[in-house]
Structure 1
Amino acid sequence: MPLKIRIGSRPSKLALAQAAIVRDLLTTKFSGIEIEIVEIRTSGDKISSASLADVGGKGLFIKELEQALAARTIDAAVHSMKDLPAILPEQFRVAAVLERENTADILVTPDGSTLPALPAGARLGTSSSRRRLQALRINRGLTILPLRGNVDTRLARVADGTFDAIIIALAGVKRLGRASDVKFVELDARDFIPAGGQGALAIETLADRKGDELGRALAALNDVRASYETAAERAFLAAMGASCTTPVGVRAVVERDQLALAAMLFSPDGARELSGSLEQPLARDLAPSIAREAGKLLAGQMLARGAAALLGKENFA
């Protein structure tokens, strides 16, 4: 009997495109496999105006998907990795991380302007505290306004003049095939260290399915480099106690025999910031456990330099 996999996905165009990527990879690798994409509307999809920080954070985008996993009405869920909490409940696991897309943030404007060139009072749309403070660090004259909605909605709000510019992840724009029909500039990663997990797709399953036929099939999709990088980033966030409201960026890059990890943290008002980085040689066989230790090490170094005090609390939980 052929393997049948029910993949849970949010109903947004981007989420469905990401689920389709997983479906296509599986059907290419395994002949006879049957894939069904099950659309599940999450709490986050039902909230269009309120700040996520006020109503429960990014976990609202995965709650119903995890409930469906626990009820075994789906076999796997596809997420943007940055939407996953840094620490999952024990009953769930990340079964695979796909090859990573470009991790950059981009500035979308009607004419392709750069961030420093935007005039005083220019309306910049973003609901990310990290992006808001990174942008103001470069151009203090901006007026930052909240921006919610799917990728198409956000891009439309530049086209209709609601915003003079928005900041958005390049990965989502590319996965929707929109990169060629909007004007944007890629923001320098030294100033715009992205959210942990940005650009990566994660496949989540029940922890007890690691060794079964489903677990083995999904493991075949795992990209070792992406898995290593995101393991380091997530371990850093977990060690820092970071939540979706913490204005922090972290990016790990694996190149040849080296892991480079960089992070940037702000106080809530943006008045203070703290950056950190490390480089670590890698063994021939990449091991996520080694990557996690690197993330914990950088977090420890930044905590020792006053990261907790930066936010005026003992930890970021």
Structure 2
Amino acid sequence: MKTVVVGTRRSGLAKTQTLQLIESLKKKNPDVNFEVKEIVTKGDRIVDRQLSKVGGKGLFVKEIEHALKVGDIDMAVHSLKDVPSELPEGFKLSAVPIREDRRDAFLSNDNIPFKELPAGAIVGTSSLRRAAQLQELRDDITVNWVRGNIDTRIQKMRDGEYDAIILAAAGLKRMGWSDDIVTEYFDPEEFVPAVAQGALGVEIRDDDREVHEILSTIHDEVTATETTAERTFLKRMDGSCQVPIGASAQFVDDEIYLTGLIMSEDGNEKYLVKKSNDDPVALGNLVADEMEKMGAKEIIDEINKNK
């Protein structure tokens, strides 16, 4: 029996989504044995600082890619939003399974809707993108940094450190939380999610045809096309988690519509572009072209220079 070693981060969410993916693979490939190897990444080790202040790109993938390169693992399961828009030589994204919910979920004590939070309310997030959009929508609230796994963040809110927090809907659903815990879901057209939010990406050595064939059984072309448009935009804009940047692409009939967002960290400057095309790479570049014409690249260049 063929054995495939699967690399994953050690966090609860990473392990859970990896095991869920393996279950899907087993159904399609009953003659393959899958083993899980947990790997601690730099992003997992840094728990006392904002990730945007530590570098951003590749914080959750570099150690896993090293294990892939030296043959300790045969495939790596990532949250696709953590994967840099350009992979190192020798690797490829072999499969992008069907996407989970792309939206951001708003959780609050006493289920108070976002628009009804009292002035001065404290909202927790570790994302510059979320923070910038929150500040633009409500300049009378305080956005404070929060780290930790889903359970830790929810507990901090319940303990009164925060009046509300924002989490990825996909993570909540994969970890088995019911909709009851969510006060409201933000519309991805109005509160733009992270690039590839809710999607997984499976990375392999680019010459491993056997594992690529196995992974083809769970690949979802719609999700792959949408996230290609989003990641093309990200790559062109040189975005990272040091920059408030978001994108959401969706098929409507045979056209792909892509909404791209770039903001200043304080939420005072906002660039929002929506375009459609039938080619994901052309679409990502179209939205990036428009952003550059509007001057959005200057925000990114300034942030990157200061960091």
Short-chain TM bin: over 0.9
How far apart in 1 are the matches of 2:18 and 2:165?
26
Q: Does structure 1 residue 217 correspond to structure 2 residue 206?
A: no
Partner deviation per Cα, 1:104-157 (whole Å, 9 max, x = no partner): 001111222221111111111012111011111111111111111111111111
TM-score by length of 2: 0.95
Residue 285 of structure 1 is matched in structure 2 by none
How far apart in 2 are the matches of 1:312 and 1:202?
28
Aligned pairs for 1:280-295 (under 5 A) are 280=277, 282=278, 290-295=279-284
Residue 141 of structure 1 is matched in structure 2 by 140
The amino acid of 1:63's aligned partner reads K
Q: Does structure 1 residue 115 correspond to structure 2 residue 104?
A: no
Residue 271 of structure 2 is matched in structure 1 by 274
Residue 88 of structure 1 aligns to a residue whose secondary structure is coil
The amino acid of 2:131's aligned partner reads R
Q: Any conservation in 1 of the 2:242–2:303 contact (CA below 8 Å)?
A: no
Q: CA deviation at 1:190?
A: 2.6
Aligned pairs for 1:124-139 (under 5 A) are 124-139=123-138
Q: Any conservation in 2 of the 1:113–1:185 contact (CA below 8 Å)?
A: no
The amino acid of 1:156's aligned partner reads Q
Q: Does structure 1 residue 159 correspond to structure 2 residue 158?
A: yes
How far apart in 1 are the matches of 2:79 and 2:62?
14
Q: CA deviation at 1:180?
A: 4.1
The amino acid of 2:111's aligned partner reads G
Residue 95 of structure 1 aligns to a residue whose secondary structure is strand
Q: CA deviation at 1:184?
A: 2.2
Q: Does structure 1 residue 237 correspond to structure 2 residue 234?
A: yes
How far apart in 1 are the matches of 2:153 and 2:259?
28
How far apart in 1 are the matches of 2:21 and 2:79?
12
How far apart in 2 are the matches of 1:166 and 1:244?
18
TM-score by length of 1: 0.92
Q: CA deviation at 1:86?
A: 1.0
Q: Any conservation in 1 of the 2:243–2:303 contact (CA below 8 Å)?
A: no
How far apart in 1 are the matches of 2:260 and 2:223?
17
How far apart in 2 are the matches of 1:109 and 1:206?
43
The amino acid of 1:24's aligned partner reads E
Residue 197 of structure 2 is matched in structure 1 by 198
Residue 55 of structure 2 is matched in structure 1 by 56
Q: CA deviation at 1:239?
A: 0.6
Residue 301 of structure 1 is matched in structure 2 by 290
- The alpha-carbon distance between structure 1 residues 13 and 140, as it changes in their structure 2 partners (threshold 3 A), is same
Q: Any conservation in 1 of the 2:132–2:264 contact (CA below 8 Å)?
A: no
The amino acid of 1:246's aligned partner reads V
How far apart in 2 are the matches of 1:3 and 1:233?
35
Q: CA deviation at 1:256?
A: 2.4
Q: Any conservation in 2 of the 1:110–1:183 contact (CA below 8 Å)?
A: no
- The alpha-carbon distance between structure 1 residues 126 and 56, as it changes in their structure 2 partners (threshold 3 A), is same
Q: Does structure 1 residue 264 correspond to structure 2 residue 253?
A: no
Residue 220 of structure 1 aligns to a residue whose secondary structure is helix
Residue 287 of structure 1 is matched in structure 2 by none
Q: How many residues align?
A: 306
The amino acid of 1:299's aligned partner reads A
How far apart in 2 are the matches of 1:300 and 1:314?
19
Q: Any conservation in 1 of the 2:26–2:32 contact (CA below 8 Å)?
A: yes
Residue 262 of structure 1 aligns to a residue whose secondary structure is strand
How far apart in 2 are the matches of 1:130 and 1:79?
20
How far apart in 2 are the matches of 1:155 and 1:17?
18
* Same amino acid, percent of matched pairs: 38
Structure having the larger proportion of residues in helix: 2
How far apart in 2 are the matches of 1:314 and 1:84?
20
Q: CA deviation at 1:292?
A: 1.4
Partner deviation per Cα, 1:245-283 (whole Å, 9 max, x = no partner): 111111000132110100121123322111101122x3x
The amino acid of 1:268's aligned partner reads E
- The alpha-carbon distance between structure 1 residues 16 and 83, as it changes in their structure 2 partners (threshold 3 A), is same
Residue 85 of structure 1 is matched in structure 2 by 84
Residue 60 of structure 1 aligns to a residue whose secondary structure is coil
